[in-house]
Structure 1
């Protein structure tokens, strides 16, 4: 990956809706070479996909919590079942397996406290292998959906 590829990635992180023509102009390439580079970056996995960032508040999802999960068992089957169940929960925006205790950190979104409580009681507590849950509420998000720093 060279400086031009990094510039293409930076531009697309900033605005994923750029046309190839606009992108080529910004990175000072002709259209065909720019298009080839984008396709190569997509095929290599450097560009994993394209999507729109939505405003959760505007969509009625203004309640966010971080849920810490301690597992009762760390055997392969339990971990795989837990992780798949988490992936299947649309309200879990992020899930991270951690070293140490707790075992997982989940970023969860809901409409309000009542909706979160229902999700917590009916879904999160019943996830495979869960020994204990602990949650904290997000007061304010100060950095989110940031572009990756490119070397």
Structure 2
């Protein structure tokens, strides 16, 4: 990956709708070169997709929760089953396995506190290996999916 690829990535991650002509203008190359490089970065798995960011509150999800999950055991089967279970819950918008305690950090969208409580009591706590769930409410999101620093 050279400086032009990094510039293309930097521009594209800040504006997924940027045109090839705009990329060309900013990189000093042609539109066709930018398109070819962009597709190559996709094929190499550097670019994992293009997404539309939706405001959760505007679509009825007024409550965002960070849940910390601690497992009662960490064998491969239990971890895999928990990961699979989390991936199947549509309210889970991010889940990460952590070193240390707790074992998982999970970002959850809910319509309100009662909605989250139902999810926690009826689904999260029933996932394999869950020993403890602690939750905290998000007051305000400061940075959401911030860009990866690519330029030197």
**CA distance, structure 1, for counterparts of residue 77 and residue 49 of structure 2:** 30
Aligned to 1:11: 11
Structure 1 residue 76 displacement after superposition: 0.9
Q: Deviations over 1:94-125 (max 9, x none)?
A: 11111111111111111111111111111111
Q: Deviations over 1:50-78 (max 9, x none)?
A: 01111111111110111111101111111
Q: TM-score, normalised by structure 1?
A: 0.95
* 4+ long deviations beyond 3 Å: none
Equivalence map 1:32-43=2 (5 Å): 32-43=32-43
Unpaired stretches in structure 1, ≥5 consecutive residues:
none
TM-score of the superposed pair, with normalisation by structure 2: 0.94
Quick one: distance in 2 between partners of 1:136 and 1:101?
Answer: 16
Q: CA RMSD in A?
A: 1.1
Q: Which residue of 1 aligns with 2:110?
A: 110
